[in-house]
Chain A
Amino acid sequence: MSGARTARLAVALAAGAAALVAASALSAALGAQPISLRSALGGVEPDATILFSLRLPRVALAAIVGCALATAGAALQALLRNPLAEPFILGVSGGAALGGSIVLVAAVALARLGGAGGAPAGAAPSVAAGAVAGAAISTFVVFGLGRIGGRLVPEAALLVGIVFNSFVAGVITLMKLLVPAEQAGRLTYWLVGAVGNESGGTLALGAAVVGLAVAALVALSARVNLLTLADEEAASLGVDVPRTRATVFFAASAATGAAVALGGMVGFVGLIVPHVARRLVGPDHRLLLPASALFGAAFLVLADAAARLAFLPLGTEPPVGAVTAFIGGPFFLWLLRRTEAREGASR
């Protein structure tokens, strides 16, 4: 990395961190009950309680989820060699949701069998483990079935992801019928992509998983650059392609799984954020992955604040997944048309 690039990395990281701090401050200050950050930090009640037990945990949750999804999106785009890849669109989030749901439903069933005596199996860590496993399995399914003649075809992988998503939606609908109405409601609210309040322990666990996954991806970022080339080119430049790709897959799946366990199916973050970050820092993943991590955190904190504030007069709030889908759906279509136009021009 040359001196100029190190300077660009510093600028990108500083900008990302500043964006995250600003978004967090904004989101923490605004809400149904506006508070003064200064008096809250000075210990004045009720501002302090609102800030520390309601707003900040929620900001942290949104930041973790956004960071995970954006970084996973950037990594999956490199592996698919296509800017349209995204954990949600590729079915990785869907796989995580299915894995988490199976654990939740199994926990409910076990609790019924074992009487009222317990079932902490439905607790966050096991749901998260199910989500990570589901994400990893679906990643391998999508990228495995997206191969035609031994060669990864982006369009095929995207199509497999879309079909896999409908399959998952169907299975989850069936599962909802199998559990009590209250559990089904919980499942629905979780899956729709709601950033609610989680316990400190859950947050710490999520942050640890996401932190490790993002660190692994950043550590591999120079190899990820080479993986955007054809497999044989990457191999002839010294990359152990199967092993490196499997590691990147697993890290992206772990990040996505943790994000889904914490926040449900929040879509399109992994599409929008890496695209904007690429515009700012260029295609080098040594810059792009850390930048995506920070901008992703800032983006979802803002999106969550927007979700909380937009419908304030109605006394309700949409899940943040609805906000990201509202922005992300049209964005995907725009990107699709642009990519097609560019490929058509270069043919």
Chain B
Amino acid sequence: MTAGAPGPWPDPLVDVRGASFSYGGAPALDGVTFQARAGEFVGLLGPNGAGKSTLVRLVAGLLAPASGEVRLAGLDPRRAPRGHVARVCALVPQEPRVAWPFTVREAVMMGRAPRQGLLARATRFDEGAVEGALRACDLVHLADRRLDALSGGERRRVFFARALAQEPRVLLLDEPTAFLDLGHQVAAMRMAQEAARGGLCVVAVLHDLNLAAAACQRVAVLSRGRIDAEGPPADVLTEARVRAVWEAAVWRGENAATGAAVVLPVLPPR
């Protein structure tokens, strides 16, 4: 199948089998098997250094596994041309830095680059995809503003919109809520949920267990480079597991309205 052609897409879209990776020292990932399907919103959880971002980089083809296999919509993301990978997979990086003062519209249009020719002449399809992404991320009123004149939350939305304009099958989010206030965190998770509802396979590295429990259908907990548990958040995020994996004292409860798991830190009384 040629990449970029419309379905039928391989199922699962993200298929990692026994993948290991090391940055030189101890293994960052040790025989990880992980799958994600179209229409799913999967949260990758785990303490710092557990291998969450490394797994995302393997899936995106930014790193090559030392052993094991990675398949992304049927492609080997390290062997396939970067342009083919970019047509099926978009990555919203953890901390999008802005070095060059492009406008919001120009930045979102960059998401069309994998589908454009050498000089990136925009077709009407490109313009349409950009307009749609701007609307979906509530950026229409900011379209002609320069990136360096935006707040952190607005900038996040721009990079999310760029990923949507890319029209991928797989959307990878690396800590989409880091450095955002509560309102922007909720907005970011809603955009991810909507993307999954629209048929994308959304995989997000998340630190906030409560956001993950509220938003994701499924979570995978990574610990020391291995998958410790996987499944619906309410089943996976038990008090014993959170205590063991994060090495923190917590209280585990339930949101009476939604039934979602709630995990709160427990500190000595003041």
CB contact between A222 and one of B82, B86, B87, B113 (< 8 Å): that residue:
B113
Please tell me if the beta carbons of A236 and B86 are within 8 angstroms of each other in the complex.
yes
Please tell me if the beta carbons of A230 and B106 are within 8 angstroms of each other in the complex.
no
Please tell me if the beta carbons of A230 and B120 are within 8 angstroms of each other in the complex.
no
Among A219, A228, A236, the most chain B Cβ lie within 10 Å of the Cβ of A236
CB contact between A226 and one of B87, B89, B110, B118 (< 8 Å): that residue:
B110
Per-residue CB proximity of B106-118 to A under 8 Å, as 1/0?
1000110110101
Q: Count B interface residues, CB 8 Å.
A: 34
Please tell me if the beta carbons of A221 and B127 are within 8 angstroms of each other in the complex.
no
Q: Say yes or no: A233-B106 contact (C-beta < 8 A), given A238-B113, A286-B120.
A: no
User: How distant is the Cα of A240 from the Cα of B118 in the complex, in angstroms?
Assistant: 13
CB contact between B111 and one of A230, A235, A237 (< 8 Å): that residue:
A237
User: How distant is the Cα of A221 from the Cα of B113 in the complex, in angstroms?
Assistant: 12
Please tell me if the beta carbons of A219 and B118 are within 8 angstroms of each other in the complex.
yes
Residues of A within 8 A of B82 (CB): 235, 238-240
Tell whether A197 is near chain B: CB-to-CB under 8 Å: no
**Size bin of chain A's contact surface:** 20 to 34
Tell whether B121 is near chain A: CB-to-CB under 8 Å: yes
Please tell me if the beta carbons of B166 and A237 are within 8 angstroms of each other in the complex.
yes
Tell whether A45 is near chain B: CB-to-CB under 8 Å: no
Please tell me if the beta carbons of A238 and B100 are within 8 angstroms of each other in the complex.
no
Residues of B within 8 A of A82 (CB): 99
Min CB distance, A173 to chain B, in Å?
37
Residues of A within 8 A of B1 (CB): none
User: How distant is the Cα of A230 from the Cα of B57 in the complex, in angstroms?
Assistant: 14
Please tell me if the beta carbons of B99 and A238 are within 8 angstroms of each other in the complex.
no
Residues of B within 8 A of A229 (CB): 97, 99-100, 110
Q: Say yes or no: A78-B100 contact (C-beta < 8 A), given A236-B60, A238-B114.
A: yes
Please tell me if the beta carbons of A219 and B119 are within 8 angstroms of each other in the complex.
yes
Residues of B within 8 A of A284 (CB): 102, 106
Please tell me if the beta carbons of A221 and B83 are within 8 angstroms of each other in the complex.
no
User: How distant is the Cα of A198 from the Cα of B87 in the complex, in angstroms?
Assistant: 51
Please tell me if the beta carbons of B89 and A228 are within 8 angstroms of each other in the complex.
no
Interface residues of A in 307-330 (CB under 8 A from B): none
**Nearest CB to that of A218 among chain B residues?**
B119
CB contact between A232 and one of B62, B81, B119 (< 8 Å): that residue:
B62
Residues of A within 8 A of B113 (CB): 222, 226, 237-239
Residues of A within 8 A of B122 (CB): 1-2
| Chain B interface (Cβ < 8 Å from any Cβ of A) | 57, 60-62, 81-83, 85-87, 89-91, 93, 96-97, 99-102, 106, 110-111, 113-114, 116, 118-122, 127, 148, 166
| Chain A interface (Cβ < 8 Å from any Cβ of B) | 1-2, 78, 81-82, 219-223, 225-226, 228-230, 232-233, 235-240, 283-284, 286, 342, 346
> Could you name 15 residue pairs across A and B whose Cβ atoms are closer than 8 Å?
A1-B120, A1-B121, A1-B122, A220-B118, A225-B100, A225-B120, A229-B97, A229-B100, A230-B96, A232-B93, A233-B96, A235-B61, A237-B86, A237-B166, A238-B86
